[in-house]
Structure 1
Amino acid sequence: MLRRTLLAVLPAFPALAQSPWPSRPMRLIVPFPPGGLADQLARPLAARLTQVLGQPMVVENRPGAGGNLGADVVAKAAPDGYSWLLGSIGPLAANQFLFPGMPFDTRSAFAPVSLLVNTPKVIVVNRDRPWRTLADLLAAARARPGAVQAGSAGNGSSLHIALALLNRAAGVDILHVPYRGAAPAVTDLVGGQIDMMVDNLPNILGQIRAGSVRALAVATEARLPQLPDVPTTAEAGLPGLVFGTWFGLVAPARTPPEIVDRMSAAVDAALRDPEIGGRFAEQGAVIGGGTPEAFAAFITAQTTMLDGVIRGAGIRAE
């Protein structure tokens, strides 16, 4: 009986191995709601990959649990090249330290494909506050620990983690005020209900250009073309504080390397296209790209850094 079963199954494997990829529609899971940064990145990218690969790539929004619900769909999907995750710093690195019960093992569930974009963090204050430089802000925070209030998109958000990094790097105690999303925090920052934020540049660039808030420093290694007059954190006297919210493409673990490499090359080409990468750069994103191996090393480095920051600050997700 076993021999007959093996003989019946074995002939199917050569046919499977020789089948072209992709030969049917693919799905791109976005583990966040429609309209957000991840969704705005996913839709033009999926449209371009549809053209390049010759099969439809359908975007599916599966929000919930800080991105864990959608990520879990891909973690448990067949590793056949037809399920992809547009993940972020949360489900691909930080969430394992924020949520007590993860539905998947972050370190082994995915095959990294490509870093897509990194959205830099910028330190901004209400325009009516007296602080003109980052040194002014930090001096005020040291003079009155806990008196300076910083908003974020919620407990465990990348904005919360960025504030924890700032507190640790500068040795200050700026009070965290969590909101349900970045938008209401920005509203209160403009209105003066809170003092400052460490926000994603695309979220706050319009308010900076309008003069509604004042940018003190960008948490990047080099100055940004969108804000050429704003110093880096190192230039402002706080070297080593470099942090951004990044997004990347991953597949289920054990996806064939040849499929991963082909998708990585297709993504790399899309990001270099001015219609795709140029649009994201105009909004304040730093374009990624590169090999799957480089993205894997990036995730590892980010995971190590986040482990220390999150545990040290005692951060937990809402």
Structure 2
Amino acid sequence: MTEPPTFGRASQPTAAAASAGPRLPRRALPGLAVAAPAAALGPALAPRGASAADPPWPTRPITMVIAYPPGAITDTVGRRVGDRLGAALGVPVVIDNRGGAGGNLAASLVSRAQPDGQTLLFTSYGNLLIAAAADLRLDFHPQRDLTPIALIGPMTVVLLVRPDLPYRTIGEFVAYARANPGKVNFASVGVGSSYHLLIEQMMALGKLDMLHVPYRGGAAAMADFLAGRVDAMLATLLFARPYINDNRARAIAVANAERSPVLSDLPTVSEQGVPGARLVDGLGVMGPARLPAHVVRRVNAAVQDILREPEMHAWLTREGVVPRPAPPEAFVDLLREEAEPLRRLIRENNIQLQ
């Protein structure tokens, strides 16, 4: 049985309200693998994504390592997906939060796990793209040491500023930062994260001098933001909503390349702030390299079914994640297609992510 491809270049792997912005409603708003024909399976049908020739799997609980601490959207969505995945596979899925290093701590742990399907990674893939594109000095290589299994979808990230500060739009924020070099403190969830890269993009492309303040996850960054110790930060819609709604944070832009369907009036950073600056990130399920193909098929088919559940689809959309059920190859292609533009952006603008 062939192994599923990793997302690297296989021939050449690299070495290493009005005043507070929009108010958000709290509660608004054929997989790759096909089961074998029933006649070939006898009286009991195999689970979707399984074949009669596949070895038994899973036979014991699965550990899903989540790359961020509790409270982050990666954790919130990962737990929901994990619950449903356990039901679909017939074994418990045990959650193990391993926040740190912009998600790379969890990815490193999973990259060293046995490739038997018993350890999976639920992560935001932006940090892995960046680590590969920037050749960050890590103890694993995302392109070589991980197997993309199932795409969940891109997630909306907003740029927040404190409401007591003198800028109310992304244009005013950029103008203030340009006129006051070194005075804006900008928090991220960690060095080498997709948030860190967007901050570096804004500084390089917009010729801004801001101080990057990395944290170990979004909760710690938000605590200092609310306490007035940092001026701006990036956060997912799910995480940011309560603080926007009670006017403790002002959302001035969407960090993604396109506007969010649930924040249609909020411009992107690129369109009204710094042209060309955009965040590339989303959620997905991965595993160690050399993961058996039948494991990838089973997990992928189950995740696709989960994303198509009406209740799950509606919840994800409302919270700022665009569900995109797709076969493993589509996830691999997405990562490959995004890697080279990021590599070029980092190289041409001499962006430092270490």
Q: Do the two structures share a fold, i.e. TM-score over 0.5?
A: yes
Does the C-alpha gap of structure 1 residues 36 and 275 become closer, same or farther in structure 2, counting only changes over 3 Å? same
Task: Please give the alpha-carbon distance, in whole angstroms, between the structure 2 residues aligned to 1:184 and 1:72.
Answer: 22
Aligned match of 1:226 in 239, 242, 262? 262
1:270 aligns to 2:306 (yes or no): yes
Q: In structure 2, which of residues 180, 183, 186 is the aligned counterpart of residue 144 of structure 1?
A: 180
The aligned residue for residue 254 of structure 1 is 290
1:92 aligns with 2:92: no
Larger strand percent: 1
Please give the secondary structure, in 2, of the residue aligned with 1:216. strand
Map residues 184-199 of structure 1 onto 2, 5 A cutoff: 184-199=220-235
In 1: Cα distance, 2:105 partner to 2:135 partner: 14
Report if aligned partners of 1:205, 1:284 keep a CA contact under 8 Å in 2. no
Deviation at 1:73, TM superposition (A): 4.0
Sort the Cα spacing of 1:32 and 1:132 in 2 relative to 1 into closer, same or farther, 3 A.
Answer: closer
Question: By how many angstroms is 1:280 displaced?
Answer: 3.1
**1:52 and 2:73 correspond:** no
Measured in 2, the distance between the counterparts of 1:304 and 1:34 equals 32
Change (3 A) 1:18 1:207: closer
**Aligned 1:150-189 pairs, distance under 5 A:** 150-189=186-225
Q: For structure 1, list consecutive stretches of 5 or more residues without a partner in the other structure.
A: 1-15
Question: Alpha-carbon deviation of 1:164?
Answer: 0.9
Instruction: State the shift of 1:295 in Å.
Output: 1.0
Larger Rg: 1
Letter of the 1:207 partner, please give it.
Y
Return the letter of the residue paired with 1:208.
I
Matched residues in 2 for 1:179 and 1:69: separation?
Answer: 14
Name the counterpart of 1:7. Answer: none
Give the 3-state SS of the residue equivalent to 2:263 in structure 1: coil
Query: What is the match of residue 215 of structure 1?
Result: 251
Say if 2:300 and 2:327, in contact at 8 Å, map to a contact too.
Answer: yes
Give the letter for the 1:71 counterpart: A
Distance 1:91 1:174 in 2: 21
Deviations 1:58-105 (A, max 9, x none): 3333455554454344323343333322233366333454753x3333
2:352 maps to a residue whose letter is G
Q: Which structure would you say has the larger RCO, counting Cα contacts within 8 Å and 6 or more residues apart? A: 2
1:25-50 per-position Cα deviation (integer Å, ceiling 9, x unaligned): 33322344444433322222122112
Alpha-carbon displacement from aligned partner over 1:247-274 (angstroms, at most 9, x marks no partner):
2111222223343123212101111223
Tell me the distance in 1 between the aligned counterparts of 2:161 and 2:131. Answer: 28
Tell me what 1:135 maps to: 171
**Using a 3 Å threshold, how does the CA distance of structure 1 residues 56 and 80 change in structure 2: closer, same or farther?**
same
Give secondary structure in 2 for the equivalent of 1:130: coil
Between structures 1 and 2, the one with greater helix share: 1
- Which of these residues, 276, 285, 289, is aligned with residue 240 of structure 1? 276
Identity %: 37
| Cα displacement string for residues 279-312 of structure 1 (whole angstroms, at most 9, x for unaligned residues) | 3333322323312112112222443344455662
Which of 310, 324, 338 matches 1:288? 324
Are residues 1:103 and 2:139 paired?
yes
Residues 122-170 of structure 1 show CA distances to partners (whole Å, capped at 9, x for unaligned) of 1222212222322212122222322222222343343322211222232
- After TM superposition, the structure 1 stretch with the greater mean CA deviation from structure 2, 174-183 or 62-71, is 62-71
Question: Quick check: 1:126–1:214 contact (8 Å CA) kept in 2?
Answer: yes
TM-score relative to the length of structure 1: 0.80
Distance 2:64 2:106 in 1: 10
Deviation at 1:243, TM superposition (A): 1.0
Counterpart secondary structure, 2:235: strand
Residue aligning to 1:61: 97
How far off is 1:18 after superposition? 5.0
Contact 1:146 1:173 in 2 (8 A): yes
Aligned to 1:4: none
